[in-house]
Structure 1
Amino acid sequence: MSTSVAPTTERAPVTTGWIARFGLMYFGQHISWATPAQILLAVQVLAMYPDDKERMLAWLMGVGGLAAVIAGPLAGRFSDRTRSSFGRRRPWIVGGTVVASAMLVVAGITGSYAVLFGAWVVFQIALATSQTSVQTIPPDRVPHQQYGLISGVMGLTYTAAVVVGAALGALLPVRGAYLATALFMLLFLVPFVATYREPEGEAVPKVESRHTESGVKPTGLGRVGFNLPSFREAPDFWWVFIARLLVTMTQAIALFYLLYFLRDRVQHPDPETGVLILSAVYAVFVILTAVWSGRASDRSGKRRVFVSLSSFGVAVACLVMAFATSFTVVIGAAALLGLSWGVFQAIDQALINHVLPSAEDRAAHIGIVNLAVHIPNTAAPAIAAVLVTQAGGYPGLYAVAAALTTIGGIVVWKVRNVP
C-alpha cells in the first residue's frame, strides 16, 4: 500500500515572500536553543558549580532533551486535533514560542540552579510544541514540487541560527544574550503568523476511529487516540526514519569530540581556534549547498539519489578524519562534511514530507520522525566515549561513523513510493 499522502487538490506554489517569512520564523525557532545550548548554559553552570560542572550540566541537558523527546509527538497530536478560528497550527506555534521566550528571560536572570533547571525543561517542552507545528506547515501547505526548495531553506536557516547563536553567546553578556535570543524568537515569528492562512477543507478526525484516512490502523498509543503507524502499514515512513537516525547519529558522534581530536590526534597548538575555523568552513558549505540542492531535487523530481549520495559523502568525510593527522586535511574533511550535510538536510526533510502516513496525523508523525534527531544527540556522548576508549581511538570512532552513514545511504533505497 502507499504510505504517502498527496494533496487532494492541486496546491498553488508558495511565493518568495512566503518562503522568506517562513525562513525567518524557522531561524528564530532554532536560534532560541542554539545560543544557550552552545555557550550560555555552560557558562552559568560553571559559575554555580565550578567543581562539579560536567555532571550538573549533563543533568540539565539530559532531562531537558528527554522532555523534548516526549513533548514533540504529543504536541503534534494535539495540534492535529485542534480546530479553532486561529487554525490548527498557529495556536501551538504562538503559544509555544511565547512560553519558550519567557523561559529564556527567566534563565537569563536567575542565579539558582533549580530555577535554571526548571526554566530549561519548560523551554524544551514549549519549543518542541512550537517546532512540531512549524515543521508541519510545509506538508500542510506547500506543493510537492517545492518540497526541496522549502527544505533547503530550512537547512540554511538552521545552520545560520547555530552560527549566529554561537556569536551572540560569545559576544554578549549572559543576560543580554538571553534577552536578544528571546526577542529574535518573538520578532521573527510575527511576519509569518500574521499573514499565514491555514488550508481549509480537511475533515475533522475522529479519535475513536479504528483506521486513519490512509488505512493506517492505530496501534499502541493509538488505542487512546495516538495513531502510531506500524512498519507493515507504513514502510516508507520507517525506512526514512531509520536512514535519518543513522546519518544523524554519524554527524553527532563525529563532531562530539572534535576539540579533543584536534588536541590529541592532530596536535593542533590551539584546538579551540581550530574548532572555530572548522565550524566556519562547515557552515559555509552547508549554506552554499542547502538551497541549491533543494531546487535541483525539485527540478529533477528525485529525492532518494540526493539523500543516498550525500550520506556517502558524509561517510567519505568521516574516513578522511579517521586517517587525518594534519589540520589541512581536516579542513578538507570539514568542507566535504558541510557540503554533504547541506544536501542531506535539505532533501531528507523533503523526503519526510512525501512519506508522512496520513494527512490527519501529520504533526504527530513529524514529532515521531524528529526522534531520529533527538535520540542521536542524546546518545552521542555515551557512544562516542565507548568508541574512543574501546574501538581503537579516533580512527575507530570515525570508521564506525562512516559505516553507520553508509548503511543510511543504502537504506533510503528501500523507500518505494518516492523517486
Structure 2
Amino acid sequence: MTAGHESAGRETAGDEASGAGVTGHDDRAPVTGAWVTRFGLLYLGQNIAWAAPSQLLIAHQVAEWHPESKETYLAWLMAAGGVVSMVATPLAGVISDRTVSRFGRRSPWILAGALGAAAALVAMSVAGDYATLLVAWLLFQVTIAFAINATQTVPPDRVPQRQYGMVSGVMGLTYTFAVVAGTLVATVLPRTAAYLAAAVLLAVFTAQFLMGFREPPGHRGPDPVAMPAPQPARASPQGPMARVRHDYWWVFAARLLVTLAQAIALFYLLYFLRDRIEYPDPDSGVLLLTLVYAAAVLGTAVVGGRWSDRLRRRKPFIALTSYGLAVAAVTMAFAGSFGVVVVAAVVLGTSWGIYTAVDQALINEVLPDPDARGRDIGVMNLAVAAPNSLAPALAGLALTHLGGYPGLYLCAALLALVGGAVIRFVRTVD
C-alpha cells in the first residue's frame, strides 16, 4: 500500500514519513530516527560514489596515460564533468517533477540514477584510455545528478517543516563524512577494487532506503500531500507566492557568495602552507587541517540543524555562520604560524557545519512551487556548482592582483560577509 492510501497524518508500515493527506508542511507525520538513518545512508552512498574517483582515482589514471601533461588533461576532464553536471542537475529536477509512475516521482530516479552511476564506475575501473574514461565520467555525472537531485527533493516532499533542520544537518554530516570516506577508499584499496567498492556502496545504500520508502504515485498538478505552509500576513502589494520567489533568489545569492568564499579560501591551501607558513611537510599539514575541519563539521552539523528547528529560526544561523567564515578567512590572511591556521580550520569547520545544516533547511522553506521542487532544488544547486568551477580562476586573480595570500583571504572574507548580509532580505522565513 502506498502512502497515498493512508488517512491524514498516519504512517504506512513501510514509510514513516508519508504525511499523506495533510495540507501544511508542519502537519505531516514526523519522520522517525530509523527513516533519518536510512536517508542519511542513501546520501552517504551517493557522495562516496563521486568522492572516491574525483579525489584520487581519476588523477592517478590520467597521470599514467599522460605523465607530461597530466594537469592539463585532468583539468579538461573535470571541467567537462562540471559543465555536464550543471546542465544535468536542473534537467533532472524538471524530469522528476513531471514523472508519473506507480512508484512516485522521486523513487524511480533515485534507483535509475544509482544504477547508471554504478555502471559508469565499473566502466571507469576498466577504462584503458583517456577517451573511455572521459565518456564514463560524463555518464556518471549525468546519472548521479538524477539520483542526488531526487534524493534532495525527498525532504521538502515528505518531511515536516519542524524537522527540516535536523534532516538537513544529517545531509551536511554525511556529505562531509563521504568526502573523507571516499578518499580513504581510494587510498587503501587497489584502483579497480576502489571503483567497485564505491559502486557497491552506492547500490547497497540506495537499496536499503528504497525498500522502506513509499511515496504517492506520480501525478500532474499541485502536490496533494503537502501544499506550501501558510505564510504570515505582511503588508505588501505582492502576494505570498511572489514574496517566496523573491526569497528563493535571495537565498540563491547568499549561497552562491558564501560557497564561493569557502572555495576560494581552500583552493591554494597546499601552496599557502608551503610558501606563506613555510610548514616543513605541507602534504601532512593539509591532511591534518582536513581532519580538523571535517571533525568540526561533523560535530556541529546535526546539532546546528536541531537547534534551528527548536528555535524555529533560520536566518540568524545563516548570517552568523557566514560571518564565522569571514573570521576564519581573516585569520588566514594574517596567520604567521601553523597553530593559527589550525584555529582558523576549527572556526571554518564549525561555521560551515552549522551553515550547511541550516542552509538546506532554509532552501526547503523558500521553494516557490510545490509542484516543481525538483527543478527549483536543481537550480539552487547551481549556487554550489558554479563557485566550485569559478574558484580556481578567481583565486588566481586574487592572488596575483590583490597582494598575495592576504589579499586572497580578505577577498574570501568580503564575499562571506556580503553573503551573510543579503540573507536579511528574506522576508517569509525568520
The aligned residue for residue 162 of structure 1 is 179
1:354 aligns with 2:342: no
1:147 aligns with 2:164: yes
SS of 1:382's equivalent? helix
Counterparts of residues 360-375 of structure 1 (less than 5 Å): 360-375=371-386
Counterparts of residues 283-302 of structure 1 (less than 5 Å): 283-302=294-313
Residue 267 of structure 1 aligns to which amino acid in structure 2?
A: E
- Unaligned stretches of 5+ residues in structure 2: 1-22, 229-240
1:204 aligns with 2:220: yes
The aligned residue for residue 241 of structure 1 is 252
Residue among 65, 71, 91 paired with 2:88: 71
1-structure distance, mates of 2:245, 2:76: 36
2-structure distance, mates of 1:123, 1:205: 31
1:135 aligns with 2:152: yes
Structure 1 residue 231 displacement after superposition: 8.4
Residue among 412, 419, 427 paired with 1:408: 419
Q: Which runs of at least 4 in structure 1 moved beyond 2 Å after TM superposition?
A: 6-9, 230-233
The aligned residue for residue 259 of structure 1 is 270
Are the equivalent residues in 2 in contact too, given 1:313–1:340 (CA < 8 A)? yes
1-structure distance, mates of 2:258, 2:170: 20
- Unaligned stretches of 5+ residues in structure 1: 1-5, 207-212, 215-229
The aligned residue for residue 342 of structure 2 is 331
Cα deviation code 1:237-260 (max 9, x no counterpart): 000000000000011111111000
SS of 2:372's equivalent? helix
Are the equivalent residues in 2 in contact too, given 1:140–1:199 (CA < 8 A)? no
Note closer, same or farther for the CA distance 1:83–1:9 as it changes in structure 2 (3 Å cut). Answer: farther
1-structure distance, mates of 2:24, 2:375: 18
2-structure distance, mates of 1:173, 1:265: 35
Residue 35 of structure 2 aligns to which amino acid in structure 1?
A: W
Cα deviation code 1:369-416 (max 9, x no counterpart): 000000001111111111111111111100000000000001111100
1-structure distance, mates of 2:419, 2:323: 9
The aligned residue for residue 103 of structure 2 is 86
1-structure distance, mates of 2:392, 2:304: 31
SS of 1:152's equivalent? helix
1-structure distance, mates of 2:166, 2:25: 21
Residue 241 of structure 1 aligns to which amino acid in structure 2?
A: F
1-structure distance, mates of 2:300, 2:147: 27
Are the equivalent residues in 2 in contact too, given 1:23–1:154 (CA < 8 A)? yes
Root-mean-square deviation (CA, aligned residues, Å) is 1.6
Residue among 168, 174, 179 paired with 2:196: 179
2-structure distance, mates of 1:261, 1:90: 44
TM-score with structure 1 length normalisation?
0.91
Residue 283 of structure 1 aligns to which amino acid in structure 2?
A: A
Are the equivalent residues in 2 in contact too, given 1:141–1:199 (CA < 8 A)? no
Structure 1 residue 83 displacement after superposition: 1.1
2-structure distance, mates of 1:104, 1:174: 11
Identical aligned pairs, as a percentage?
Answer: 53
The aligned residue for residue 16 of structure 2 is none
Are the equivalent residues in 2 in contact too, given 1:11–1:141 (CA < 8 A)? yes
Residue 415 of structure 1 aligns to which amino acid in structure 2?
A: V
Residue among 353, 357, 360 paired with 1:342: 353
Residue 33 of structure 1 aligns to which amino acid in structure 2?
A: W
Structure 1 residue 205 displacement after superposition: 2.7
Residue 12 of structure 1 aligns to which amino acid in structure 2?
A: A
Give the number of equivalent residue pairs: 392
Structure 1 residue 170 displacement after superposition: 1.2
1-structure distance, mates of 2:377, 2:340: 37
Structure 1 residue 7 displacement after superposition: 2.9
Residue among 102, 108, 127 paired with 1:110: 127
Are the equivalent residues in 2 in contact too, given 1:92–1:130 (CA < 8 A)? yes
Note closer, same or farther for the CA distance 1:361–1:394 as it changes in structure 2 (3 Å cut). Answer: same
SS of 2:371's equivalent? helix
TM-score with structure 2 length normalisation?
0.89
Are the equivalent residues in 1 in contact too, given 2:103–2:216 (CA < 8 A)? no
Are the equivalent residues in 1 in contact too, given 2:317–2:355 (CA < 8 A)? yes
1-structure distance, mates of 2:117, 2:37: 23
SS of 2:24's equivalent? coil
2-structure distance, mates of 1:308, 1:338: 16
The aligned residue for residue 306 of structure 1 is 317
Note closer, same or farther for the CA distance 1:204–1:281 as it changes in structure 2 (3 Å cut). Answer: same
2-structure distance, mates of 1:187, 1:240: 34
SS of 1:50's equivalent? coil
Structure 1 residue 20 displacement after superposition: 0.2
2-structure distance, mates of 1:348, 1:376: 16
Are the equivalent residues in 2 in contact too, given 1:138–1:147 (CA < 8 A)? yes
Name which of structure 1's ranges 6-15 and 301-310 shifts more when overlaid on structure 2. Answer: 6-15
Are the equivalent residues in 1 in contact too, given 2:244–2:428 (CA < 8 A)? no
Residue 220 of structure 2 aligns to which amino acid in structure 1?
A: V
Are the equivalent residues in 2 in contact too, given 1:253–1:381 (CA < 8 A)? yes
